[in-house]
Structure 1
Amino acid sequence: MYHLAKGVYLELTRKEEYSCLILGLDNAGKTTLLEKLKSIYNEGRSLSPEKIVPTVGQNVGHITINNMNLKIWDVGGQENLRTLWKSYYAECHAIVFVVDSTDRARIEECRDTLRTIVTHQDTEGIPVLMLANKQDRDDSLEVEDIKEIFNKIAEHLGARDSRVLPISALKGTGVKEAADWLTIRLARNKQYRPPDKR
């Protein structure tokens, strides 16, 4: 009887969890974004910006936004690590693609990388949030210019939810708005890709 009661209790207390991937080229600000999300939603428990180093492999964070539990995977963006990204696609519920708005030399590479992501069969139908990071810097491209460059892959996004938003992961500008957009789309897409139970 104890095991039955325990099993029922565990089933009733399990929480829904959504997995989100933070992807982008190296030095786009992915880890800074993850740490800023943790500092906003986990009562300040995060690394300070000066302690953030390039990700080799992955970082994982757990946060709760609007009563929604998120497991956030920040995966290294170096070219030799990008082949590993696809191993996460089937399990993720959304993709956050971070663009370094100051890296004009690699903006086309960013676009081509995002095209590879959204055309993979395992990402079909999941929301894609593209963040134009480093908007606090004077040398950053305007969001409208970035949208224009990325419009060339719009046909590959299909009917899925997608958006481009300006942020500064370092200063936190736009991060809450991005998180709100993400949680709304995860809930909306629940029938297509149900959350995990933890």
Structure 2
Amino acid sequence: MYTLLSGLYKYMFQKDEYCILILGLDNAGKTTFLEQSKTRFNKNYKGMSLSKITTTVGLNIGTVDFGKARLMFWDLGGQEELQSLWDKYYAECHGVIYVIDSTDEERLSESKRAFEKMVTSEALDGVPILVLANKQDIEQGGARGHRMDGEVRRAECAPAAAAAGHHIGTAGPEHPPLVLKSSC
């Protein structure tokens, strides 16, 4: 009888949990993206002041509920020393959001190398990856952040195995980049 009631309770009230990694270089806006997502999708969550967000050392965890699904976001630190730990989380994740700071042109190649290292991991085969070109609304010295308009042909979410041929900043009719604009 207990098993029947327990199963019925789980069926009625338990949510399916999906783990989403938020990766990218330090200062790309990963924690801000997580806080904005929690504020937008959790009714009673007030959120922390964006001015109080500091560099992530380790990881931040946030949850968002959508109907019968619960998304658990794992925001991992992006410093070079911490990037070596990213692969420890791949086996547990159901999706990856890779955040690029579009205002930091000097580090775009570094971000590309980190992305390529991540996307070639066999542990991410079949895992959807979304790339966000963040901070495109920020003005620096009278000019806006590095615009990726010419590089964005279509927003797409694809398995890592398919994305192995896609590279940040390159595009062609047969290989559109995996980049979305974001102002988080």
2:119/2:163 contact within 8 Å kept: no
The structure showing larger relative contact order (alpha-carbon pairs under 8 Å, at least 6 residues apart) is 1
**Matches of residues 67-78 of structure 1 in structure 2 within 5 Å?**
68-78=69-79
How far apart are 1:155 and its partner, in Å?
Answer: 5.8
- TM-score norm. by structure 2 comes to 0.79
What is the aligned length?
Answer: 160
2:142 is the counterpart of 1:141: no
Which residue of 2 is the match for residue 36 of structure 1? 36
Looking at structure 2, the residues matched to 86 and 41 of structure 1 have their Cα atoms a distance apart, in angstroms, of 28
Return the match for 2:180 from 165, 176, 179. Answer: 165
Q: Measure how far apart 1:134 and its partner are.
A: 0.5
Alignment of 1:1-198 (within 5 A): 1=1, 3-13=2-12, 14-43=14-43, 44-65=45-66, 68-138=69-139, 139-144=144-149, 156=164, 163-169=178-184
More helix per residue: 1
Q: Give the deviation of 1:68 after TM superposition.
A: 3.2
State the superposition RMSD in angstroms: 2.2
Q: Which runs of no fewer than 5 residues in structure 1 stay unpaired?
A: 149-153, 170-198
In 2: Cα distance, 1:5 partner to 1:24 partner: 45
Amino acid at match of 2:85: L
State the TM-score, normalized to the length of structure 1: 0.74
Where structure 2 has 5 or more consecutive residues not aligned to the other structure, the ranges are 154-161, 167-176
Report if aligned partners of 2:15, 2:69 keep a CA contact under 8 Å in 1. Answer: no
Structure 1 counterpart of 2:64, which letter?
I
Residue 24 of structure 1 contacts residue 77 of structure 1 at CA under 8 Å; is this kept in 2?
Answer: yes
Give the stretch that moved more between structures: 4-13 or 110-119: 4-13
Tell me, yes or no, if the aligned pair for 1:118 and 1:157 is still in contact at 8 Å.
no
For 2:66 and 2:106, locate their aligned partners in 1 and report how far apart those are by CA, in whole Å.
35
Deviations 1:63-93 (A, max 9, x none): 0246532000000001100111101101111
Following TM superposition, where does structure 1 have runs of at least 4 consecutive aligned residues deviating by more than 3 angstroms? 65-68, 144-148
Q: Distance in 2 between the 1:157 and 1:71 partners?
A: 28
Q: 1:155 to 1:15 in 2, by over 3 A?
A: closer
Percent identity, aligned pairs only? 41
Could you tell me which residue of structure 2 aligns to residue 195 of structure 1?
Answer: none
SS in 1 for 2:19: strand
2-structure distance, mates of 1:49, 1:168: 13
